[in-house]
Protein backbone atom coordinates (compact mmCIF):
# COMPACT_ATOMS: atom_id res chain seq x y z
CA UNK A 1 0.00 0.00 0.00
CA UNK A 2 1.56 3.23 -1.20
CA UNK A 3 0.27 6.24 0.74
CA UNK A 4 -0.88 9.04 -1.57
CA UNK A 5 -2.39 11.24 1.15
CA UNK A 6 -3.53 11.16 4.76
CA UNK A 7 -5.63 13.81 6.47
CA UNK A 8 -6.89 14.12 10.03
CA UNK A 9 -10.66 13.76 9.93
CA UNK A 10 -13.18 13.69 12.82
CA UNK A 11 -10.54 12.33 15.16
CA UNK A 12 -9.47 9.64 12.72
CA UNK A 13 -7.55 9.59 9.44
CA UNK A 14 -8.86 9.78 5.87
CA UNK A 15 -6.25 8.22 3.62
CA UNK A 16 -5.85 7.53 -0.08
CA UNK A 17 -3.71 4.56 -1.08
CA UNK A 18 -2.49 2.83 -4.23
CA UNK A 19 -1.43 -0.75 -4.80
CA UNK A 20 -0.69 -3.16 -7.61
CA UNK A 21 -3.83 -5.21 -8.23
CA UNK A 22 -3.48 -8.78 -9.44
CA UNK A 23 -7.22 -9.03 -10.08
CA UNK A 24 -7.36 -5.95 -12.32
CA UNK A 25 -3.81 -6.24 -13.68
CA UNK A 26 -3.12 -2.57 -13.01
CA UNK A 27 -2.55 -0.14 -10.15
CA UNK A 28 -5.71 0.57 -8.16
CA UNK A 29 -6.45 3.49 -5.84
CA UNK A 30 -8.88 3.52 -2.92
CA UNK A 31 -9.90 5.72 -0.03
CA UNK A 32 -9.90 4.45 3.57
CA UNK A 33 -11.18 6.23 6.66
CA UNK A 34 -10.02 4.82 9.98
CA UNK A 35 -11.70 6.14 13.14
CA UNK A 36 -9.71 6.94 16.25
CA UNK A 37 -10.61 3.54 17.76
CA UNK A 38 -8.47 1.81 15.11
CA UNK A 39 -5.40 2.91 17.06
CA UNK A 40 -6.38 0.49 19.82
CA UNK A 41 -7.47 -2.53 17.79
CA UNK A 42 -9.55 -3.83 14.90
CA UNK A 43 -12.75 -1.96 14.03
CA UNK A 44 -15.74 -2.98 11.87
CA UNK A 45 -15.80 -1.78 8.27
CA UNK A 46 -18.46 -0.38 5.94
CA UNK A 47 -17.74 -0.66 2.22
CA UNK A 48 -19.07 2.14 0.00
CA UNK A 49 -19.33 1.38 -3.73
CA UNK A 50 -19.71 4.40 -6.00
CA UNK A 51 -21.68 4.89 -9.20
CA UNK A 52 -21.10 5.56 -12.87
CA UNK A 53 -18.30 8.00 -13.80
CA UNK A 54 -17.03 8.09 -10.21
CA UNK A 55 -13.64 7.24 -8.74
CA UNK A 56 -12.82 6.53 -5.10
CA UNK A 57 -12.89 10.28 -4.51
CA UNK A 58 -16.53 11.23 -5.12
CA UNK A 59 -18.13 9.66 -2.08
CA UNK A 60 -15.03 10.25 0.01
CA UNK A 61 -15.40 14.01 -0.41
CA UNK A 62 -19.16 14.45 -0.99
CA UNK A 63 -21.11 11.85 1.01
CA UNK A 64 -20.30 13.20 4.47
CA UNK A 65 -19.90 9.67 5.79
CA UNK A 66 -16.78 10.16 7.92
CA UNK A 67 -18.52 12.20 10.61
CA UNK A 68 -21.10 9.48 11.24
CA UNK A 69 -18.58 6.65 10.93
CA UNK A 70 -16.35 8.38 13.49
CA UNK A 71 -19.25 8.60 15.92
CA UNK A 72 -19.85 4.85 15.54
CA UNK A 73 -16.20 3.76 15.49
CA UNK A 74 -16.50 2.27 11.99
CA UNK A 75 -13.95 2.23 9.17
CA UNK A 76 -15.02 3.23 5.66
CA UNK A 77 -13.52 1.95 2.43
CA UNK A 78 -14.13 3.69 -0.90
CA UNK A 79 -12.90 1.46 -3.77
CA UNK A 80 -12.57 2.74 -7.32
CA UNK A 81 -15.30 1.86 -9.82
CA UNK A 82 -13.12 0.34 -12.53
CA UNK A 83 -9.53 -0.42 -13.49
CA UNK A 84 -7.41 2.49 -14.71
CA UNK A 85 -4.36 2.95 -16.92
CA UNK A 86 -3.28 3.65 -20.48
CA UNK A 87 -3.54 -0.01 -21.49
CA UNK A 88 -6.99 -0.49 -19.93
CA UNK A 89 -9.84 -0.77 -22.43
CA UNK A 90 -12.30 2.13 -22.48
CA UNK A 91 -15.29 3.46 -24.39
CA UNK A 92 -16.39 6.96 -25.37
CA UNK A 93 -19.71 6.51 -23.56
CA UNK A 94 -19.86 7.41 -19.88
CA UNK A 95 -21.69 4.20 -18.98
CA UNK A 96 -19.18 1.69 -20.33
CA UNK A 97 -15.48 1.27 -19.65
CA UNK A 98 -13.51 3.32 -17.16
CA UNK A 99 -15.75 4.49 -14.35
CA UNK A 100 -18.35 1.87 -15.26
CA UNK A 101 -16.99 -1.49 -14.14
CA UNK A 102 -20.39 -2.66 -12.80
CA UNK A 103 -18.67 -4.74 -10.10
CA UNK A 104 -18.43 -7.91 -12.19
CA UNK A 105 -15.75 -10.05 -13.82
CA UNK A 106 -15.77 -9.44 -17.57
CA UNK A 107 -15.41 -12.47 -19.83
CA UNK A 108 -15.36 -10.74 -23.22
CA UNK A 109 -12.59 -8.96 -25.11
CA UNK A 110 -11.28 -6.31 -24.77
CA UNK A 111 -12.61 -6.06 -21.21
CA UNK A 112 -11.64 -9.42 -19.69
CA UNK A 113 -7.97 -8.57 -19.13
CA UNK A 114 -8.61 -5.83 -16.56
CA UNK A 115 -12.31 -5.62 -15.70
CA UNK A 116 -12.44 -8.02 -12.75
CA UNK A 117 -14.07 -5.74 -10.22
CA UNK A 118 -15.99 -8.54 -8.49
CA UNK A 119 -12.76 -10.33 -7.57
CA UNK A 120 -11.20 -7.02 -6.59
CA UNK A 121 -13.97 -5.87 -4.23
CA UNK A 122 -14.95 -9.30 -2.90
CA UNK A 123 -11.50 -10.80 -2.40
CA UNK A 124 -8.36 -8.83 -3.19
CA UNK A 125 -9.02 -5.50 -1.49
CA UNK A 126 -10.47 -7.04 1.71
CA UNK A 127 -7.42 -9.31 1.95
CA UNK A 128 -5.09 -6.35 1.47
CA UNK A 129 -6.78 -4.39 4.25
CA UNK A 130 -6.90 -7.38 6.59
CA UNK A 131 -3.15 -7.80 6.19
CA UNK A 132 -2.23 -4.16 6.67
CA UNK A 133 -4.91 -2.31 8.67
CA UNK A 134 -6.78 -2.75 11.97
CA UNK A 135 -9.96 -4.09 10.36
CA UNK A 136 -12.25 -6.72 11.92
CA UNK A 137 -12.97 -9.04 8.99
CA UNK A 138 -15.82 -10.67 10.91
CA UNK A 139 -17.75 -7.39 11.04
CA UNK A 140 -18.37 -6.07 7.55
CA UNK A 141 -21.32 -4.29 5.94
CA UNK A 142 -21.77 -2.79 2.49
CA UNK A 143 -23.57 0.10 0.83
CA UNK A 144 -23.42 1.97 -2.46
CA UNK A 145 -25.00 4.50 -4.79
CA UNK A 146 -26.57 3.84 -8.21
CA UNK A 147 -24.21 1.39 -9.99
CA UNK A 148 -22.58 0.98 -6.59
CA UNK A 149 -25.95 0.18 -5.04
CA UNK A 150 -26.27 -2.55 -7.68
CA UNK A 151 -22.85 -3.85 -6.66
CA UNK A 152 -23.58 -3.72 -2.94
CA UNK A 153 -26.83 -5.67 -3.31
CA UNK A 154 -25.45 -8.31 -5.67
CA UNK A 155 -22.33 -8.90 -3.55
CA UNK A 156 -24.35 -9.11 -0.35
CA UNK A 157 -26.85 -11.63 -1.72
CA UNK A 158 -24.18 -13.71 -3.48
CA UNK A 159 -21.77 -13.97 -0.53
CA UNK A 160 -23.91 -15.23 2.37
CA UNK A 161 -22.35 -14.62 5.75
CA UNK A 162 -19.90 -12.00 4.49
CA UNK A 163 -21.86 -8.83 5.28
CA UNK A 164 -23.99 -8.24 8.34
CA UNK A 165 -26.17 -5.65 6.58
CA UNK A 166 -26.63 -4.07 3.16
CA UNK A 167 -28.04 -0.73 2.05
CA UNK A 168 -28.22 1.25 -1.16
CA UNK A 169 -28.91 4.74 -2.41
CA UNK A 170 -30.81 4.79 -5.73
CA UNK A 171 -29.55 1.35 -6.79
CA UNK A 172 -29.79 -0.03 -10.30
CA UNK A 173 -32.24 -2.75 -9.32
CA UNK A 174 -32.93 -4.68 -12.51
CA UNK A 175 -30.04 -4.23 -14.98
CA UNK A 176 -31.10 -7.20 -17.12
CA UNK A 177 -34.36 -5.37 -17.84
CA UNK A 178 -33.09 -1.86 -18.59
CA UNK A 179 -30.60 0.19 -20.57
CA UNK A 180 -28.32 0.52 -17.53
CA UNK A 181 -27.37 -3.13 -17.65
CA UNK A 182 -28.25 -4.77 -20.93
CA UNK A 183 -25.70 -2.68 -22.82
CA UNK A 184 -22.93 -3.26 -20.29
CA UNK A 185 -23.69 -6.93 -19.66
CA UNK A 186 -23.61 -7.63 -23.41
CA UNK A 187 -20.20 -5.95 -23.66
CA UNK A 188 -18.68 -7.45 -20.50
CA UNK A 189 -20.37 -10.86 -20.30
CA UNK A 190 -21.55 -11.61 -23.83
CA UNK A 191 -24.93 -11.91 -25.50
CA UNK A 192 -26.05 -15.02 -23.57
CA UNK A 193 -28.44 -13.60 -21.00
CA UNK A 194 -28.10 -16.57 -18.66
CA UNK A 195 -24.70 -15.15 -17.68
CA UNK A 196 -26.31 -11.88 -16.57
CA UNK A 197 -28.66 -13.12 -13.85
CA UNK A 198 -25.95 -13.38 -11.16
CA UNK A 199 -25.61 -9.59 -11.37
CA UNK A 200 -29.26 -8.54 -11.13
CA UNK A 201 -30.40 -7.51 -7.63
CA UNK A 202 -34.09 -8.09 -8.31
CA UNK A 203 -33.50 -11.58 -9.67
CA UNK A 204 -31.17 -12.41 -6.77
CA UNK A 205 -33.74 -11.10 -4.31
CA UNK A 206 -36.34 -13.44 -5.79
CA UNK A 207 -33.93 -16.38 -5.81
CA UNK A 208 -31.83 -15.94 -2.66
CA UNK A 209 -32.71 -12.86 -0.63
CA UNK A 210 -30.40 -11.62 2.11
CA UNK A 211 -30.06 -13.04 5.60
CA UNK A 212 -29.87 -9.70 7.38
CA UNK A 213 -31.22 -6.16 7.45
CA UNK A 214 -31.70 -4.28 4.17
CA UNK A 215 -32.25 -0.53 3.66
CA UNK A 216 -33.02 1.08 0.29
CA UNK A 217 -33.47 4.82 -0.33
CA UNK A 218 -34.49 6.26 -3.71
CA UNK A 219 -35.69 9.76 -4.53
CA UNK A 220 -39.08 10.30 -6.12
CA UNK A 221 -37.56 13.05 -8.28
CA UNK A 222 -34.64 10.91 -9.44
CA UNK A 223 -34.20 11.66 -13.13
CA UNK A 224 -32.98 8.08 -13.72
CA UNK A 225 -35.93 6.26 -12.15
CA UNK A 226 -36.85 4.44 -15.36
CA UNK A 227 -33.29 3.08 -15.56
CA UNK A 228 -33.09 2.18 -11.87
CA UNK A 229 -36.39 0.22 -11.89
CA UNK A 230 -36.88 0.23 -8.07
CA UNK A 231 -40.32 -1.35 -8.36
CA UNK A 232 -38.76 -4.63 -9.51
CA UNK A 233 -36.73 -4.97 -6.31
CA UNK A 234 -39.67 -3.99 -4.11
CA UNK A 235 -41.89 -6.56 -5.81
CA UNK A 236 -39.27 -9.31 -5.51
CA UNK A 237 -38.76 -8.58 -1.82
CA UNK A 238 -42.50 -8.58 -1.18
CA UNK A 239 -43.00 -11.90 -2.95
CA UNK A 240 -40.13 -13.41 -0.97
CA UNK A 241 -41.38 -11.75 2.24
CA UNK A 242 -37.88 -10.41 2.72
CA UNK A 243 -37.67 -7.78 5.48
CA UNK A 244 -36.60 -4.55 3.76
CA UNK A 245 -36.80 -0.88 4.67
CA UNK A 246 -37.70 0.45 1.23
CA UNK A 247 -38.11 4.23 1.24
CA UNK A 248 -39.08 6.53 -1.60
CA UNK A 249 -37.84 9.95 -0.48
CA UNK A 250 -40.15 12.71 -1.71
CA UNK A 251 -38.57 15.30 -3.96
CA UNK A 252 -35.00 13.97 -3.86
CA UNK A 253 -32.94 13.37 -7.00
CA UNK A 254 -29.90 11.20 -7.86
CA UNK A 255 -27.20 13.56 -6.60
CA UNK A 256 -24.85 13.53 -3.63
CA UNK A 257 -27.12 16.11 -2.00
CA UNK A 258 -29.55 13.19 -1.70
CA UNK A 259 -26.88 10.72 -0.56
CA UNK A 260 -25.44 13.04 2.09
CA UNK A 261 -28.93 13.84 3.43
CA UNK A 262 -29.57 10.22 4.39
CA UNK A 263 -26.00 9.08 5.07
CA UNK A 264 -26.42 9.39 8.84
CA UNK A 265 -29.40 7.02 8.66
CA UNK A 266 -27.42 4.47 6.69
CA UNK A 267 -24.33 4.52 8.89
CA UNK A 268 -26.49 4.15 12.01
CA UNK A 269 -28.38 1.30 10.31
CA UNK A 270 -25.13 -0.55 9.64
CA UNK A 271 -23.70 0.24 13.08
CA UNK A 272 -26.63 -1.53 14.71
CA UNK A 273 -25.85 -4.68 12.72
CA UNK A 274 -22.09 -4.43 13.12
CA UNK A 275 -22.25 -4.09 16.89
CA UNK A 276 -25.13 -6.52 17.53
Which residues are part of the catalytic machinery?
Answer: 146, 222, 254
Residues with Cβ within 8 Å of 192's Cβ and at least 6 positions away in sequence, in order, are none
- Rounded to whole angstroms, the Cα distance separating 201 from 11 reads 36
**Buried-exposed string 83-118: b where 16+ CB fall within 10 A, e elsewhere:** bbeeebbbbeeebbbbbbbbbbbbeeeebeebbbbb
Amino acid sequence: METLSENRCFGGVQGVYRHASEACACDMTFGLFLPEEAQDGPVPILWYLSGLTCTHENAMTKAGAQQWAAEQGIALCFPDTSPRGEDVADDEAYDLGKGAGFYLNATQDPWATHYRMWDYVADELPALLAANVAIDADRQSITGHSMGGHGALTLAMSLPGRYRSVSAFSPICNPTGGDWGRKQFTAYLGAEEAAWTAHDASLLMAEKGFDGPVLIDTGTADNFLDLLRPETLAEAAAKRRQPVQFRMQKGYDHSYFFVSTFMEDHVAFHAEALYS
